[in-house]
Amino acid sequence: MNIRFNRYGTMEMVDFYIFRHGETDINKQKRWQGSGTDVDLNETGRAQAACLFDKLKDKKLEIIYSSPLIRAYHTAQIAAKPLGIEVVKFPDLRECHYGVAEGMTFDDVNRLYKEVGEAVFNPGQDKLDVRFPQGESIGEVRERVLTAMRTIAGEGYRCVGLAVHGGTMSNLLGYFGVEKPKVPNCGCIHAFYDHGEFRLAGNVF
């Protein structure tokens, strides 16, 4: 077991509140958007991000680490402002790169890459090698994001927000053993890191 100490030399439990970005026009058009598609929130997405305050206000967040993609970073900024906390970009929290599927409609992906598309949103342990042509695999993304979370857990904070993406959250929920997870825009999950292990603390809220 790879136990990481924080910068103070302790192994105190770290709470993670992980949330998906608000809606974009690409979401609304039912198209695939990964790390190869960098678009901002639409009006609905900005309103959803503002409502995150109600979900997070009692969680005692100390900082939010964000994917560098503008839809996640802008969501984090909106959520962080009334909380009075800092937002820090963390490149390895970015969404999966979906290769040739970037920008494709759900219908086209369902027609051309049905098994891959289904695996992304139900990413069990037997699907870690699945990827779109020219894209990242489910396993590569999972390891990248978990490594980022381990690094963040070593920074000395007790309660951290993570602004990420739908595919990323589905991937993490698959890691926790959740089948066919549903993660709406600005949906949240609570996980914690304790003595080198990640655990899920509840359902999507």
Q: Which residues pair with 161 in a beta bridge?
A: 17, 64
DSSP state of 113: S
Spell out the domain ranges in the chain.
14-200
Residues of the chain where predicted confidence (pLDDT) is lower than 50: 1-4, 8-10
pTM for the predicted model, two decimal places? 0.93
Write the single-letter amino acid at 122.
N
27 is in an annotated binding site: yes
Q: Which residues pair with 19 in a beta bridge?
A: 163, 188
189 is in an annotated binding site: no
Distances (CA, A) of 194 to 15, 142, 153: 9, 18, 9
pLDDT of residue 4: 47
Beta-strand runs (E) in the chain = 14-20, 63-66, 86-89, 159-164, 188-194, 197-200
Write the single-letter amino acid at 11.
M
- CB-based contact 167:147 (threshold 8 Å): no
Q: What is the set of active-site residues?
A: 21, 95
71 is in an annotated binding site: yes
CATH topology of domain 14-200: Rossmann fold (3.40.50)
The 10s digit of each residue's pLDDT in 42-57 is: 999 999 999 999 999 9
pLDDT of residue 146: 98
